Amino acid sequence: MKKYLIVGLGNIGEEYTNTRHNIGFEILDSFADKANISFSNARFGSISEYKFKGRSFIFLKPNTYMNLSGSAVTHWLKSEKIPLTNLLIISDDLNLPFAKLRLKPSGSNGGHNGLRDIESSLNTTEYNRLRVGISNEFKKGQQSNFVLSKFSDEELLKLTELKETVNELIISFVMSGISITMNTYNLKN
């Protein structure tokens, strides 16, 4: 059975729930709810497994805090013997408009500390990542406050549709691969 590691980035703790920086956690929770699976505590994070058409999806929400996500990703790739090509990291992105998706097989960390740590731990920028736009409508010097802020009521309404789209994207990534999924979802979005 082919295995895939799907990692949603975020920070643990109630104070971070429903914040922009935790969109990765939110998306994985949405998938778990729909698939009727649950997360359990494990080494370096919360883990859940979903099996579908001969594939095993291993979902990880690191408990290492955003800036140290690399150790969790590296541990689970090695312990589950998952090839780097079967890794998908889901993170927030200030450089994209709200709810805009950008799936890529490699690239820079774009100033995202979680991606920077993963890049350092893996010793490569060649890993699949899905960036989810959280907007950049903040005053100069307020970036940290903005990423840790809650979504507006209007944004929360759009998030439901966004999570559905990303759930479909995850299935497509596992079943059809990065190229087909990029062509479908980067253009659609």
Q: Which two tokens stand for residue 67?
A: 């800036």
Domains by residue range for the chain, with CATH: 2-188 (3.40.50.1470)
Amino acid 54 reads: G
Residue 152 has what pLDDT? 87
| Average pLDDT, integer, range 109-121 | 94
User: What are 49-103's pLDDT values in tens digits?
Assistant: 999 999 999 999 999 989 999 999 999 999 999 999 999 999 999 989 999 999 9
Name the active-site residue from 20, 21, 102, 163. 21
Q: What is the 3-state secondary structure (H, E, C) of the chain?
A: CEEEEEEECCCCCHHHCCEHHHHHHHHHHHHHHHHCCCCEEECCEEEEEEEECCEEEEEEEECCCHHHHHHHHHHHHHHCCCCHHHEEEEEEECCCCCCCEEEECCCCCCCCHHHHHHHHHHCCCCCEEEEEECCCCCCCCCHHHHHCCECCHHHHHHHHHHHHHHHHHHHHHHHHCHHHHHHHHHHHC
The yes-or-no verdict on residue 189 having pLDDT over 80 is no
Question: Given a cut of 80, is residue 138 above it in pLDDT?
Answer: no
Instruction: Assess whether 112 carries a catalytic annotation.
Output: no
List phi, psi (to 5°) of 2: -70, 140
Summarised one tens digit per residue, pLDDT across range 142-158 is 777 888 889 888 898 99
| Averaged pLDDT for residues 21-39 | 97
